[in-house]
Amino acid sequence: MNEPTNDLLRLENQFNFLLRFANDIILLMDADGNILEANDVAVNTYGWPLEQLLTLNIRELRDPATLDEMQKQLKLTAETGALFETRHKRRDGTIFPVEVSSRLFEHEGNTYRQSIVRDITERHKMQSKLARDAIRFEGLLKLNEVATQLPEKEFMQFGLEWVERLTGSKIAFIHFVNDDQESIELVAWSAATREKYCTAAYDDHYPVSQAGIWADCLRQRRPVTFNDYANYPDKHGLPEGHSELKRLISVPVIEGEKVRVILGVGNKDSDYDDEDIEIARLFGNDMWRIIHRLRLESELKLNLEQQRALNKQLEEAQSHLLQSEKMASLGQLAAGVAHELNNPIGFVYSNMGTLESYLNDIFAINAAYEEAELTVGDSCPALDHVVKLKHEKDYDYIKQDIFQLMAQSKDGLSRMRKIVQDLKDFSHVGNEGWKWADLHKGLDSTLNIVWNELKYKCQVNKEYGTLPEIYCIASQINQVFLNLLVNAAQAIETKGIITLRTGIKNEEVWVEITDTGKGIPPEQINRIFDPFFTTKPVGVGTGLGLSLSYGIMQKHQGRIEVTSEVGKGTTMRLHLPVKPKSTPSGNN
């Protein structure tokens, strides 16, 4: 054997070695696709013995569904060679994806086709997994996006629809596990499940002991899979109206020591796998995390709102208490001033009476002297001096004017005594508490107290009806009168009229204070009883008067009605029961 022949044999052996031990399928065919040679990988992949494999045509190794496209692929191969993907069939009929690199070549006048076929099942699985991961990631992002936009139940349905889509399931459901871990609550089906498959009723306390094997994930605290549900032993029953189950995944969501959620999907066309379990687990955990967070946020928000409301109530109560204490102090001060003034006014008034009596006596004696003057002659120097002195001092005017001065002084003292008495009546110090009181008397006393606010610009008209005494804390009702009268006076900018009206209807009396001031804008009517709300300039009002008055009226089981028109004036109408149905203990 010569040297070229040895080289040719060596190359053939090397080729046969590569052919036999290559990682991919290698097929040698004639122009019609009949297989002439195949390597070991082809034998192992297709499942045919080599002798039988070499009797087949390539068409018999193709998925029948791909034969229509085969002619086009062969044409491309004839022209330039081609790389394409298709599907091949094993001896047992299973289909698998392949990537084919095929070309034609000539040898000794014959045309042959060489194809290198690579099984790309794993590639497709990876691509499918990457696609599922991308969709899963998108679903988890969407879940977080819609969390604050949807009510809780709709949010859970949204999440279940994603789990259905990703696992290829037809039904999906969520149960919440109650704190006792012995009962569960069906809270959501996916929309498709509810519409097409299931009519089971929601149940707040479905006992775990009665639940089927779908609740084993709670009992075992781990995911469970049933790919042949119908034939599974001891599966127990399903709630009435529940969809028929063929396959099922059920996963628990565990928080601390307790299972909080059971998420289940079912009736996939093929068996469930670990990837499906992971999807259900991820979405279940994320949904519960979001729901738990939103519930805590909602609870925190509610607590903050309640805290703000309590703080506002406390602030109002403190403001009312300060105002009440202030008014109590003013009342005590007024009572003290009244008491201190009452004593000197009393003895001055008494002394004025005594002085008037003494002056009457003095002028009586003086009249006797004047009669004596008429009987004495003209030659008495002493008498002449007296007559001259009387003329110089304008005795006749003094005698006439001194009694007018006495009358004016007594009138002034009477008015001072009336003011002092009104101060005592207004403050009611020493007489505090629920008692029968005359509203007209209280209204008049209060009017005298605030008269200095009114007298320069207000004309006060009284249109009193006939009122019975009512059971009340008189000093507090007087405080309401004071606030309303001061407000009425301050609403009148130049000159105006304040009208006081009273009346009774059934077992309820009413007091009306009307002014012709500037009125209250409609948008402010609902706020006038709010603490610290005022329309007055800084330094004129605190915004507590009407708020305090509103509280006093509520305490007396009464009410305040307000009507106002801008530019024409305001009417405040108080309604009070003659006797409240009940009276609170204490006087604060």
Confidence of residue 586 (pLDDT cuts 50, 70, 90): very low
Exposed, middle or buried, 343 (CB in 10 Å: 0-12/13-18/19+)? Answer: exposed
Q: In this model, does residue 219 exceed pLDDT 80?
A: yes
Helix (H, G, I), strand (E, B) or coil at 151: coil
If you write DSSP's letter for every residue of 164-205 in order, what string do you get?
A: HHHHT-SEEEEEEEPTTSSEEEEEEE-HHIIIII--PPP-TT
Q: Calculate mean pLDDT across residues 494-498.
A: 91
> What are the structure tokens assigned to 1, written together?
């054997």
Identify whether the C-beta of residue 475 lies closer than 8 Å to the C-beta of residue 428.
yes
Q: In this model, does residue 137 exceed pLDDT 60?
A: yes
**Among 253, 249, 167, which Cα is nearest to 214's?**
249
Tens of pLDDT, residues 223-282: 999 998 878 877 666 656 566 788 889 999 998 889 999 998 989 999 999 989 999 999
Label the pairing between strands 496-505 and 458-463: parallel
> What does the pLDDT read at residue 509?
95
> Which residues are paired to 175 by β-bridges?
186, 262
> What does the pLDDT read at residue 333?
52
Cα separation values, 543 from 234, 359, 480, 535, Å: 75, 55, 14, 8
Tens of pLDDT, residues 1-48: 455 556 556 655 655 666 666 889 999 999 889 999 899 999 999 999
Q: Calculate mean pLDDT across residues 179-183.
A: 85
Q: Calculate mean pLDDT across residues 419-430.
A: 59
> What does the pLDDT read at residue 463?
94
Q: What are the φ/ψ torsions at residue 104 (nearest 5 degrees)?
A: -100, 145
Q: Which of 19-28, 87-96, 160-169, 371-380 has the lowest average pLDDT? A: 371-380
> What does the pLDDT read at residue 538?
45
The letter for the amino acid at 30 is D
Helix (H, G, I), strand (E, B) or coil at 536: coil
In terms of pLDDT, which residue wins out, 115 or 400?
115
From 3.40.50.880, 3.10.20.90, 3.30.565.10, 3.40.50.300, which CATH number describes the 432-588 domain? 3.30.565.10
Q: Residues 399, 403, 409, 412: is their CA dihedral positive or negative?
A: negative
> What does the pLDDT read at residue 430?
47
Phi-psi region of 569 (alpha: psi -120 to 50; beta: other; left: phi over 0): left
Cα separation values, 544 from 196, 449, 537, 549, Å: 63, 20, 14, 8
**What is the fold, at CATH topology level, of the domain defined by 3-119?**
Beta-Lactamase (3.30.450)
Q: How far apart are CA 161 and CA 158, in angstroms?
A: 5
Average pLDDT, rounded, for the chain: 81
CB under 8 A, 24+ apart: contacts of 575-578? 575/508, 575/509, 575/510, 576/439, 576/470, 576/472, 576/477, 576/508, 576/509, 576/510, 576/511, 577/470, 577/507, 577/508, 578/468, 578/470, 578/471, 578/504, 578/507, 578/508, 578/509
Confidence of residue 426 (pLDDT cuts 50, 70, 90): low
Q: Residues 468, 471, 475, 479: is their CA dihedral positive or negative?
A: negative
Q: How far apart are CA 465 and CA 458, in angstroms?
A: 22
Q: In this model, does residue 60 exceed pLDDT 90?
A: yes
Tens of pLDDT, residues 151-167: 888 898 899 999 998 89
> Which residues are paired to 576 by β-bridges?
509
> What does the pLDDT read at residue 387?
73
Do 3-119 and 432-588 have matching folds? Answer: no
Q: How far apart are CA 468 and CA 441, in angstroms?
A: 12
pTM of the model: 0.48
**Percent of the chain whose predicted confidence (pLDDT) is above 90:** 26
Confidence of residue 576 (pLDDT cuts 50, 70, 90): very high
Q: Provide the strand spans (E) within 473-535.
A: 496-505, 508-515
Confidence of residue 118 (pLDDT cuts 50, 70, 90): very high
| Residues in CB range of 245: below 8 A, 6 or more apart | 214, 226, 229, 230, 238, 266, 267
> What does the pLDDT read at residue 462?
93
> What does the pLDDT read at residue 555?
87
Domain boundaries, given as residue ranges, for the chain: 3-119, 150-272, 312-430, 432-588
Most confident of 26-30, 339-343, 453-457, 527-531: 26-30
**What is the fold, at CATH topology level, of the domain defined by 150-272?**
Beta-Lactamase (3.30.450)
Tens of pLDDT, residues 236-251: 666 565 667 888 899 9
